[in-house]
Amino acid sequence: MTGSALAMKPRRRRRIPTPYLLIAPAVVLIATFIAYPVGTVGYFSLFQYSASKPWATRFIGLENFRVMLFEDPLFWRTLGITTAWVVAEVALQLVFGLALALILNRTFRNRGLARALMFAPWAISGVLATQIWLLIYNPSTGIADVLSQLGSPTQFAPLASAAGAFWSAVIAEVWRGIPFFAILILADMQSIPTEMYEAADVDGASKVQQFFFITLPYLRDAIIITTLLRAVWEFNNVDLIYTLTGGGPAGATTTLPLYVVEEAVGSRNFGYGSALTIAGFVILLIFSVLYLQLGRASRREGKS
Amino acid sequence: MSIAARLQAPAVVNRGIRESVGSRAISLWIPLGLFLSFTLLPFYWMVVYAFRAEGSTLPLPWPLTLDHLATVWNELNFSTYFLNSTITAVFTLLFTVVLSLLAGYAMSRYEFKGKAPFMLVLLATQFVPGAMLLIPLFIIFRQFGLIDSLVALIIADTVFQLPLCAILMANFLRNIPMELEEASWIDGCGRVRGFLAVVLPLLRPAIVAVGSFAFIGAWNNFLFALMFINSNDRFTLPVGLNSTIGEYSADYGALAAGGVVAAIPVVIVFAIVQRFLVQGVSAGAVKG
Residue ranges covered by each domain of chain A: 64-120+175-303
Per-window interface: A 156-175 vs B, CB < 8 A: 175
Say whether A19 and B115 touch across the interface (CB within 8 A): yes
Residue of A nearest to B244 (CA): A131
Averaged pLDDT score across all residues of chain B: 83
Q: Is A141 on the interface with B (CB under 8 A)?
A: yes
On the 0-12 / 13-18 / 19+ scale of CB atoms within 10 A, A39 is: exposed
Chain A positions in Cβ-Cβ contact with residue B154 (cut-off 8 Å): none
Q: Is B38 on the interface with A (CB under 8 A)?
A: yes
ipTM surpasses 0.85? no
What string of pLDDT tens digits covers the 304 residues of chain A?
444 444 445 555 545 578 898 999 999 999 999 999 988 888 888 888 887 787 878 888 888 898 889 988 989 999 999 999 999 999 999 999 999 999 988 888 888 888 888 888 988 888 999 989 988 888 777 777 777 777 666 667 788 888 889 999 999 999 999 988 888 888 888 878 888 888 888 888 888 888 888 888 888 888 888 898 889 889 988 889 998 988 878 889 999 989 988 888 778 888 898 899 889 988 988 998 898 888 887 777 655 4
Using CA atoms, how far residue B274 sits from A121, A238, B166, B204, B238, in Å, is 12, 25, 19, 15, 22
Say whether B6 and A107 touch across the interface (CB within 8 A): yes
Report the percentage of chain B scoring pLDDT > 70.
Answer: 89
Say whether B288 and A122 touch across the interface (CB within 8 A): yes
B109 pLDDT higher than 90: no
Chain A positions in Cβ-Cβ contact with residue B127 (cut-off 8 Å): 232, 284-285, 288
Residues 6+ apart with CB under 8 A from B221: A125, B130, B153, B156, B157, B236, B238
User: Which CATH number is A64-120+175-303 given?
Assistant: 1.10.3720.10
Residue of B nearest to A104 (CA): B32
User: Which domains, from first to last, does chain B contain?
Assistant: 3-65 (no CATH), 70-282 (1.10.3720.10)
Q: What does the pLDDT read at residue B215? A: 92
Nearest residue to A119 (alpha-carbon basis) of A35, A162, A175: A175
Q: Which residues pair with B24 in a beta bridge?
A: none
Q: What does the pLDDT read at residue B60? A: 78
Alpha helices in B54-149 (DSSP H): 67-70, 78-109, 115-124, 134-143
